Amino acid sequence: MSVEYIIRATICSLLALPFFNLIGSANAQEIHFAHCVKGCPSGAPVTNDLIVREIYVLSSNDDRKFADWVAYRVTNDTIGSSSSLLRTWKSDPSLDGSETLELNDYSGANQAHDYDKGHQAPLAAFAGTVYWRETNFLSNITPQKANLNQGAWKELESAVRHATDHLRELYVITGPLYDGNVMPELPGANEQHQVPTGYWKVISTAGGRITAFIFEQATPRNADYCDHRRSVSEVEARSGLDLFPEVSNWPSGDLSNDLDC
């Protein structure tokens, strides 16, 4: 099917929201969301579904069954404690059953392959909002090795939250990598999918200070996330995406010190 923009409200309602701006014509269309700085990533397959929510926007891949990228904006107002919040997993109500996985597809995945249900837009970053449950939709989840999910990935997410103590806001884009190696599939899944071989995360300010990271699935639990810093150009080359399509001269500086690196 062609590109499908799945919005959880009518266009008229969305135009009234501060995070949404649609400028269109018969031949071209520009879409801007407050979740993305300098435009949302381009380069994903045209069959992807663009899903927009109050706390994130993502591009869901019909074939792989996981998001090719997820973009979100973190501020002090969105952050909260997630310790008492339930991980109530749910298939994405905006996607057809043939386009996403269901909870039963993850059955036995941890025991067989040490896969956690790894958030792309993290729960703790939005525990201070009424929309935190949306982080538990399976379109925002991927099979992530437990050592990575509970180690360096978790520590980097924490560093992003801590950085908002002194930075007004941070923009994050994150997504999976598929580098040719074949990862074991989810043993309980009854539909075709492709488990990522790694992950990337790019953190930026509105002014263009950026730090990028790449993690392989086999990243040890005690790994230092700072050792996984990479260039934005490497992330773009390996993901096949243009992360900041509205500009050509980013980054303007580095965020490493702000992220405790």
pLDDT value, residue 16: 31
pLDDT value, residue 31: 59
Amino acid at residue number 69: W
Portion of the chain with pLDDT greater than 70, in percent? 87
- Whole-number Cα distances in Å, 233 to 40, 89, 128, 157: 16, 34, 33, 21
pLDDT bin (cut points 50, 70, 90) of residue 6 is very low
- Find the mean pLDDT for residues 59-80: 96
Whether residue 59 contacts residue 67, with contact meaning beta carbons closer than 8 Å, is answered with: yes
pLDDT bin (cut points 50, 70, 90) of residue 12 is very low
- Find the mean pLDDT for residues 25-37: 62
Whether residue 165 contacts residue 235, with contact meaning beta carbons closer than 8 Å, is answered with: no
Q: Which of 74-78, 181-185, 186-190, 248-252 has the lowest mean pLDDT?
A: 248-252
Whether residue 28 contacts residue 73, with contact meaning beta carbons closer than 8 Å, is answered with: no
Selected residue with higher pLDDT from 191 and 24? 191
pLDDT value, residue 19: 42
Computed over every residue of the chain, the mean pLDDT equals 88
Q: What is the pLDDT of residues 79-126, one digit of tens each?
A: 988 877 778 999 999 999 999 999 999 999 999 999 999 999 999 999
Q: Transcribe 18-81 into DSSP letters.
A: TTEEEEE-SS-EEEEETTSSSS--B-S-TT-EEEE-SS-EEEE-TTTSSEEEEEEEE-TTT---
pLDDT value, residue 85: 75
Eight-class DSSP state of 134: G
Whether pLDDT at 29 is above 90: no
Amino acid at residue number 24: G
- Sign of the dihedral through C-alpha 236, 240, 241, 245: positive
Q: Give the catalytic positions in this structure.
A: 119
Return the SS3 of 154.
Answer: helix
Closest by CA to 127, choosing from 176, 178, 74, 90, is 74
CATH class of 34-259: alpha beta
Q: What is the pLDDT of residues 113-171, one digit of tens each?
A: 999 999 999 999 999 999 999 999 999 999 999 999 999 999 999 999 999 999 989 99
Closest by CA to 258, choosing from 205, 221, 222, 219, is 205
